[in-house]
């Protein structure tokens, strides 16, 4: 049985006071709740240190939103995997479509970042997904397959305990347009099958594949009820603590009842 994940991607939002308020309230709520899902919080890097302190001794996981693939050196402005590890942060999102689009990250970069995380004993939330144009042209599975193949190039099956994949159709991110549960399931099933063919069935069965793109408390239940959707990576609806708690509550109920 794969344990579901609800992950909050705060992107470039919040002040330090907001971060403190959110996490203090969230941890208090979580401590009084029987959790059926894993939680990962991805704050902007400037708040990771504070978040690490606030989440110390809880089972809420902390994740960066991006890393650089070198461990150290003259790379002004960048943050490395060993640096994150040293503050108790063992996850990073990589390959988010906003980084691919606005910061010109290629699959080759994403692959290097993935290797940097895995070689440092860390975990990756690897994001991929198609544009609206690609979907309308019927290219979704080709695009996803090409991303999987390039992003996972040279990654051995033993590393898969430390990999989470997030399927995020770009046209659904921050747009209010969610993929239908059936459309998301169709692609996520395809991803799992691709992993089974490339690696083996056990790796595929154990891999957690999240959906991301305009998830909110109205659509989370249907999405995570799909057999190959093992949780969500949530942007906009994760910013407000009450909204995020509501989503986690629903996920707990659905997963608990499964």
Residues lying near ligand PGA in the complex (CB under 6 A) are found at 9, 168, 173-174, 212-215, 233-237
Catalytic member of 4, 96, 98, 130: 96
If the CB atoms of residues 144 and 203 are measured against ligand PGA, the closer one turns out to be: 144
Look up 104 and say whether it is catalytic. no
Catalytic member of 105, 130, 168, 185: 168
C-alpha span between 36 and 226 (Å, rounded): 16
Q: Phi and psi for 167 in degrees, rounded to 5? A: -85, 115
Asked if residue 27 lies in contact with residue 248, where contact means CB atoms within 8 angstroms, the answer is: no
If the CB atoms of residues 174 and 256 are measured against ligand PGA, the closer one turns out to be: 174
Distance of CA 51 to the CA centre of its chain: 17
Tokens 């659509």 identify what position?
A: 219
Asked if residue 127 lies in contact with residue 168, where contact means CB atoms within 8 angstroms, the answer is: yes
- Closest-by-Cβ residue to ligand PGA is 235
If the CB atoms of residues 196 and 221 are measured against ligand PGA, the closer one turns out to be: 221
Tokens 């996972």 identify what position?
A: 152
Strands 5-9 and 163-167: unpaired
Minimum distance between the CB of residue 9 and ligand PGA, rounded to whole angstroms? 4
Based on DSSP, count helices (H) and strands (E) in the chain, helices before strands.
11, 8
If the CB atoms of residues 13 and 120 are measured against ligand PGA, the closer one turns out to be: 13
**Residues with catalytic annotation?**
96, 168
């Amino acid at each position: 049985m794969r344990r579901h994940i609800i992950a909050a991607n705060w992107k470039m939002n919040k002040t330090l006071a907001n971060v403190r308020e959110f996490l203090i309230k969230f941890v208090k709520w979580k401590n009084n709740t029987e959790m059926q899902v894993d939680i990962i919080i991805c704050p902007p890097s400037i708040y990771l240190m504070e978040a690490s302190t606030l989440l110390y001794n809880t089972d809420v996981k902390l994740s960066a939103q991006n890393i650089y693939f070198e461990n150290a050196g003259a790379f002004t402005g960048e943050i490395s995997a060993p640096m994150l590890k040293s503050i108790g942060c063992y996850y990073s999102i990589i390959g988010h479509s906003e980084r691919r689009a606005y910061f010109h990250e290629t699959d080759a970069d994403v692959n290097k970042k993935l290797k940097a995380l895995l070689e440092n004993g860390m975990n990756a939330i690897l994001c991929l997904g198609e544009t609206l144009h690609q979907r309308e042209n019927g290219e979704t599975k080709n695009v996803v397959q090409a991303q999987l193949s390039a992003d996972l190039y040279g990654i051995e099956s033993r590393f898969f305990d430390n990999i989470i994949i997030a399927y995020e159709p770009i046209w659904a991110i921050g747009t209010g347009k969610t993929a239908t549960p059936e459309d998301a399931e169709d692609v996520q099933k395809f991803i799992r099958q691709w992993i089974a063919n490339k690696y083996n069935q056990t790796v595929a069965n154990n891999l957690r594949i999240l959906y991301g793109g305009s998830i909110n408390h109205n659509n989370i239940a249907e999405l995570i009820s799909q057999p190959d959707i093992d949780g969500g990576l949530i942007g906009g609806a994760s910013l407000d603590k009450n909204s995020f708690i509501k989503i986690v509550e629903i996920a707990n109920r659905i997963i608990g009842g499964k």
